[in-house]
Amino acid sequence: MFAILASFTVASVPLEQVVQRVDGSVVTVRVAEKRTSESAGGKSVSITTGTGSGVMVHPDGWIVTAAHVVDDADLIEVEFTDAPTSVAQIVTLSRTEDLALLKAETPPKKPVVAALGDSELLKPGMRLFAIGAPLGLTHTVTSGVVSALRTDTRKGPHPSRLLQTDVPINQGNSGGPLFNENGEVVGIASFIASRSGGSVGLNFAIPSSTVRARLFESPLPWIGVSVRFVSKEFAEVMNWPIDAGLLVEKVKAGGVAAKAGLHGGMIEAELGGTHVILGGDLVLKVNGLPTSDSKAIGKSLAALQPGDAITYEVLCAGSTKTIEVPLPKLPKVPTLTASKVARAP
């Protein structure tokens, strides 16, 4: 048995009861990453760990989180409220939209499943609440309102649509759900705007409409690559002769991208307060399209079928080369039911 989802009248249900109903659907995501770096003394290996959040949207262990929580991870574990911790694998991931879909190897026998709501119905002033693990404090509830719904038209791979909220979000909340008063997931916590590093009321999430479209309606198999967008200004600092590019920071060992010949970096650096890994391939074009045109690239990738290849034009050691990465078969992603409200078993 899994949680039965049913609608109810919000006005007659206190918010604390809604929180109680959906809390079991929220998971804590713990990751571990092995880093190899080079220095004058040779190579060194270190293990770093991190914590984020996620939400289970299907009883078979399908979990939505933020891409930046898991895309560099060598090991992913998800902690449930009333079930043993399970190892999880990335099924599909989009750094552009900062979304990832995980599959827990051992889902709970009695899972609580959250419903994916319709973010298109949101309006400024509507109440929201988040559940996550800020600074490792699991199942912390914070609340606020919809501040704005924004569209980002800048070039480059980044979320095009954003849900802005004053719901407090801090490190550890990333990837966790934002719920409306019905207990429906309407956003996935992504990032904050802050000079102090803590929440100042300018917090941003990926709308549930993007979650549904990217992870469930048009999913793409993950090829095991972590990239960072390189702007013209960044390239000038690095003395790279490009207008824009995608810096390959990490390639998963044994993955299809690694087998095809894409290389990640090994030199860790801080540039403008941002941690980067240098030394990897620099992607100039994807399927013949410039990396600055993320929308066109997205459409091109969405049209591919398993067995087709993604063609990368990369700059490596001062010369360009073409690398073709075959698209692996994608596990069958479930079709989510219509939006309803999660209830505990």
Q: Which positions are annotated as active-site residues?
A: 68, 98, 174
Q: How would DSSP label each residue in 44-96?
A: EEEEEEEEEEEEEEETTTEEEE-HHHHTT-SEEEEE-SSS--EEEEEEEEETT
Token pair in block for residue 129? 């609440």
* Residue carrying structure tokens 């403008």: 272
Q: Are 223 and 310 in contact (CB under 8 A)?
A: yes
Token pair in block for residue 242? 């490009």
According to DSSP H, which parts of 190-340 are helical? 208-211, 232-238, 256-260, 294-302
Token pair in block for residue 58? 């299907």
Q: Are 320 and 283 in contact (CB under 8 A)?
A: no
* Residue carrying structure tokens 């692996």: 328
